[in-house]
Structure 1
Amino acid sequence: MIPIIPVLVVIILLSLVVLILIMASQKEETRTKEPKKHKKNRSKEAVIRDATRRLSQNPKDPEALLALGDIYYQDQVWDKALKIYETLVELCATNPDLDEYEINCRYGMSALKLGLQDQAYKGLVIARSLQQNNFEVNYNLGYLEFLRKNYEKAVQLLQQARTQDPEHAPTLRYLGHALFKLHRYREALVFLRKAVDLIPEDKESLYTMGECYYELGQVEQAIKIFTHLRPDPSLGPTASLFAGTIHMNQHQYPKAIMDFEIGLKHENIKIEIQAELKYRLALAYLKQQEIGRALTILKELQNSYQNYKDVPTLIAKYQELNSNKNLQIYLMAPTGDFVTLCRKVVLSFFPKARVKITNIAVNKNEWADILAEVDTPKWADVVMFRFIRNQGVVGELTVRDFHAHLKEVKAGKGYCLSAGTFSDEAKKFVEARLIDLYEKNQLSKILESVDASVSAIPL
């Protein structure tokens, strides 16, 4: 029988030998791997040293330049790559063995990465003249044409790039923007939608989509986009301005006011956008007959931007209106309120007289004709009033029309009141006729006192 102890000793010794062999093998493998990595690094370093040495002897050594340029280009050391390929571009003219396409392409791309657009354009144009079916060249040259505002060329190049890579979002983006610049709004929308689907955070493309919808008359889609973009820190002010302008055009003044106010809450707004937001906000308040608020904004605007548009004129005009409530109604109120005020003027026009209004006729929102029977202690007659809302110059034709109307209703006297002035021809026309003309200053005085006097008139 084999003794147990010697067998155990043999087994233990064999296990130790196997363990030592495994550890030695792993150590050897590690040593084998490490030199490969170092060898690779040393290889690149050796190439750089060798190329640098050769270039110190001959600065235009093509092999050394190509080796060094390839390393810098692959490692994205763009400034050094640009210098290398700039030299190689010059050598292409005298060395037919050089790959002129690749050298110009890499020269252009290195310049583009450094923001040197003119140099990038030069290199990529030459590269494309040698090979026209490279996506990278077509896209980047199309992008540069877009920056140079050559939109037709940009569209051609980007269309070709799109056929090579239909899902490349930047290609779709700039193709859409270029078509928008060319006023080809329907085509632009197709590519902008795809670009935004691929990159939802591309707010500029979304904004341009809104502009396309607006230009195509699809204002509901446009307003949705601009409303969505109002909170954006960058595009918010202009989106608010656009949204507010659309609401103004739709006579939705409270919504327009909200849009403009949201736009003005942003920080670091461009001066011209801030001024326009304030200006249109003031106009919206005027449409709402909130003259006090409008004046406050207009005066702020005048202090910041001297003589912006017609701000001085608006301030002068509405300061007077703000102090004369009836003049506000006369010029700005709905037709019903305007006619009610005109009735009050007629009833208070002749002191101590009994006045009976027999007819009221309104011509759109331009003027109102009121016929009345007037009975005073000294005389009685039928008179007609024409109240003209226009603040400009009233010409002879309007006065002639009033005179003809007087004859039709057989009125003995006519009174023509305007919020503006009368032309010289109009004044000459009434000289020999029973028509009195009242210009703005006289009308303002009448309107200031009309409420107090009306309360004392027997009806």
Structure 2
Amino acid sequence: MNASFTVIIVILIAAAAILLLTFLGRSRAGKSPKQKKQKDRAVIIREANRRLAQNPRDPEGLTVMGNIYFQDQNWEKAYTAYEILFCLASSTPKIDPFENALRYGIAAIKLNKIPEATKAFVEARKLRRDSFEANYNLGYICYIQKEYEKAITFLKQALVIDPESIPAQKYMGFSMHKAHHFREALKYLKRALEAEPEDREILFAMAECLYETGAQEQALKIFSALSSHPTLGPHAALYSGIIYTQNGQFEKAITEFETGLKHDNLPKELSNDINYKLAAVLIKNQDLGRALSVLKEIQKTTPGYKDVPSLIVRYRELNQNKNLKTYLLSVQSEFTELCKKMVTEFFPGARVKITDIEMYADYSDIVAKVDTSKWTDIVLFRFYRGQGSIGEIPLRDFHARIKDIKAGKGICVAAGVFTDEAKRFIDGRPVYIYDKDQLNKLLNKIE
């Protein structure tokens, strides 16, 4: 009995000892690596700081601290350490010149110290031309400095080393876009967008490339979708408006331009550009009142912007003279009807029969048989819609046409002026000219 009891006691003590050892072992095993790591880091930092206290340019101490700061992304302190190491690298064999230059460049670019970053990456690339980081970062720096052709050179080398790099694809596309290599840029931008479908800057650059390569319908879809974007929206709306204007969809163009102008904090240059194009499409849409308001707003904020002062003078007059507005801005059918009314106005009381009408880009010709109480003859009328100057050469052409159709005389009407050479040419010839002032008098007689 006593023996059995003694055995039981021994077994219990042994089990308790085993459990205690196991617990202690697990406790040490669980805490040791972390504690050891913290202890090692603390010891390393303390040793490095001791060395730097004795010599602030100690290579080993700077390398250790630079590595720690770099891993912690403490860019200010990492930059300070690697800047000194960069200067020491050429005279200190213990320093890895390539890694040091690369890290110095990365820390510099994180702090927007572009000249220092450039110097560091150039040095790293000298040491290893096949370094992706050196080539990519030099390409990126050239891009932000608007040296797009140089950026393309570096980024091409980066993509040879790592063809799958999305940042390199992205900035290659951006650089080619800015360098006007629009078709080539598209393939890089598409790859970058596949990886970053929410990146609206890539999408906008793609739309510009599509627009410049003639794919206006695709570009318009993207620009329209981006027109409400807080930063890209004004530019996207500007492009949408331009495309709609080119397609003759003036109402939609006006809507897009107005959407662009609704954005807050528009730069004056961009605001002026959108307003100027808005005024132009309002003029095309024959809404001269609104066009004048927009032009006056531009003139108020930026006096002398482009040809705004002369446009205000021109379209103020047109807005007050319906017939002159029709003469200059209406569709071809309305213009032709107005010209036919003017033909009859030239010879009040006569019988006028229009026998032929020919319309051209700059002018229209009307042939009429005029029968008065004193004479009957064929008269050729030419109506110029432009407000520029008409010189001798157009009148020589007009005179030749008079002879070809065997007309007795020709009457040339313009919304602009005739040069002195033109006036001298008609002397002694059956050609009569009516400039803008005479045109206005004629138009005022017409209902």
TM-score range, shorter chain: 0.7 to 0.9
- The percentage of counterpart residues that share the same residue type is 43
1:66 corresponds to which of 63, 67, 76 = 63
Deviation of 1:324 after TM superposition, in Å, equals 1.0
Do 2:275 and 2:294's aligned partners in 1 also have CA atoms closer than 8 Å?
A: yes
Give me the whole-angstrom Cα distance separating, in 1, the residues matched to 2:78 and 2:386. Answer: 72
Tell me the equivalent position of 1:217: 214
Deviation of 1:173 after TM superposition, in Å, equals 0.4
After superposition, the Cα gap between the structure-2 partners of 1:155 and 1:435, relative to the gap in structure 1 and judged at 3 Å, is: closer
After superposition, the Cα gap between the structure-2 partners of 1:436 and 1:155, relative to the gap in structure 1 and judged at 3 Å, is: closer
Structure 1 SS opposite 2:73: coil
Give 1:381's aligned amino acid.
T
Instruction: Choose 128-137 or 406-415, whichever is displaced more.
Output: 406-415
Instruction: Choose 279-288 or 45-54, whichever is displaced more.
Output: 45-54
After superposition, the Cα gap between the structure-2 partners of 1:83 and 1:390, relative to the gap in structure 1 and judged at 3 Å, is: closer
Structure 2 residue 263 is the aligned partner of structure 1 residue 266? yes
Give me the whole-angstrom Cα distance separating, in 2, the residues matched to 1:151 and 1:410. Answer: 63
1:360 corresponds to which of 337, 342, 356 = 356
Give me the whole-angstrom Cα distance separating, in 1, the residues matched to 2:114 and 2:141. Answer: 7
After superposition, the Cα gap between the structure-2 partners of 1:118 and 1:364, relative to the gap in structure 1 and judged at 3 Å, is: same
Q: How does 1:247-396 map to 2 (within 5 A)?
A: 247-351=244-348, 353-365=349-361, 366-375=363-372, 379-382=374-377, 384=379, 385-396=381-392
After superposition, the Cα gap between the structure-2 partners of 1:60 and 1:245, relative to the gap in structure 1 and judged at 3 Å, is: same
After superposition, the Cα gap between the structure-2 partners of 1:165 and 1:430, relative to the gap in structure 1 and judged at 3 Å, is: closer
After superposition, the Cα gap between the structure-2 partners of 1:166 and 1:358, relative to the gap in structure 1 and judged at 3 Å, is: closer
Structure 1 SS opposite 2:91: coil
Structure 2 residue 180 is the aligned partner of structure 1 residue 188? no
Give 2:163's aligned amino acid.
P
Do 1:381 and 1:412's aligned partners in 2 also have CA atoms closer than 8 Å?
A: no
Give me the whole-angstrom Cα distance separating, in 2, the residues matched to 1:131 and 1:425. Answer: 72
Give me the whole-angstrom Cα distance separating, in 2, the residues matched to 1:103 and 1:312. Answer: 60
Deviation of 1:24 after TM superposition, in Å, equals 8.4
After superposition, the Cα gap between the structure-2 partners of 1:103 and 1:433, relative to the gap in structure 1 and judged at 3 Å, is: closer
Tell me the equivalent position of 1:454: none
After superposition, the Cα gap between the structure-2 partners of 1:82 and 1:400, relative to the gap in structure 1 and judged at 3 Å, is: closer
Instruction: Choose 410-419 or 19-28, whichever is displaced more.
Output: 19-28
Structure 2 residue 162 is the aligned partner of structure 1 residue 162? no
Do 1:381 and 1:411's aligned partners in 2 also have CA atoms closer than 8 Å?
A: no
Give 2:41's aligned amino acid.
K
Give me the whole-angstrom Cα distance separating, in 1, the residues matched to 2:404 and 2:82. Answer: 93
Structure 2 SS opposite 1:268: coil
Give me the whole-angstrom Cα distance separating, in 1, the residues matched to 2:215 and 2:322. Answer: 40
Deviation of 1:198 after TM superposition, in Å, equals 0.3
Give me the whole-angstrom Cα distance separating, in 1, the residues matched to 2:400 and 2:50. Answer: 105
After superposition, the Cα gap between the structure-2 partners of 1:399 and 1:23, relative to the gap in structure 1 and judged at 3 Å, is: same
Instruction: Choose 402-411 or 253-262, whichever is displaced more.
Output: 402-411
TM-score (norm 1): 0.86
Deviation of 1:430 after TM superposition, in Å, equals 3.5
2:416 corresponds to which of 420, 426, 439 = 420
Give me the whole-angstrom Cα distance separating, in 1, the residues matched to 2:181 and 2:403. Answer: 59
2:428 corresponds to which of 409, 427, 432 = 432
Give 1:361's aligned amino acid.
I
Deviation of 1:160 after TM superposition, in Å, equals 3.3
Give 1:184's aligned amino acid.
H
Structure 2 residue 109 is the aligned partner of structure 1 residue 112? yes
1:80 corresponds to which of 65, 77, 83 = 77
Query: 1:335-368: CA deviations, max 9, x gaps?
Result: 22112112222333444x1423242322414133
Deviation of 1:230 after TM superposition, in Å, equals 1.7
Instruction: Choose 148-157 or 405-414, whichever is displaced more.
Output: 405-414
After superposition, the Cα gap between the structure-2 partners of 1:408 and 1:56, relative to the gap in structure 1 and judged at 3 Å, is: closer
Tell me the equivalent position of 1:142: 139
Do 1:62 and 1:88's aligned partners in 2 also have CA atoms closer than 8 Å?
A: yes
Do 1:368 and 1:388's aligned partners in 2 also have CA atoms closer than 8 Å?
A: no
Give me the whole-angstrom Cα distance separating, in 1, the residues matched to 2:239 and 2:16. Answer: 79
Do 1:69 and 1:85's aligned partners in 2 also have CA atoms closer than 8 Å?
A: yes
Instruction: Choose 296-305 or 398-407, whichever is displaced more.
Output: 398-407
TM-score (norm 2): 0.88
After superposition, the Cα gap between the structure-2 partners of 1:21 and 1:287, relative to the gap in structure 1 and judged at 3 Å, is: same
Give 2:360's aligned amino acid.
K
Gaps of 5+ in 1: 452-459
Give 2:434's aligned amino acid.
Y
Aligned residues: 442
Do 2:76 and 2:111's aligned partners in 1 also have CA atoms closer than 8 Å?
A: yes
After superposition, the Cα gap between the structure-2 partners of 1:192 and 1:428, relative to the gap in structure 1 and judged at 3 Å, is: same
Query: 1:306-348: CA deviations, max 9, x gaps?
Result: 1111111111111111111111111122222112112222333
Do 1:196 and 1:205's aligned partners in 2 also have CA atoms closer than 8 Å?
A: yes
Give me the whole-angstrom Cα distance separating, in 2, the residues matched to 1:229 and 1:19. Answer: 73
Deviation of 1:52 after TM superposition, in Å, equals 1.5
Gaps of 5+ in 2: none
Tell me the equivalent position of 1:52: 49
Instruction: Choose 440-449 or 45-54, whichever is displaced more.
Output: 45-54
Give 1:444's aligned amino acid.
N
Give me the whole-angstrom Cα distance separating, in 1, the residues matched to 2:346 and 2:61. Answer: 103
Give me the whole-angstrom Cα distance separating, in 1, the residues matched to 2:17 and 2:340. Answer: 118
Q: CA RMSD in A?
A: 3.1
Instruction: Choose 410-419 or 21-30, whichever is displaced more.
Output: 21-30
Give 1:109's aligned amino acid.
I
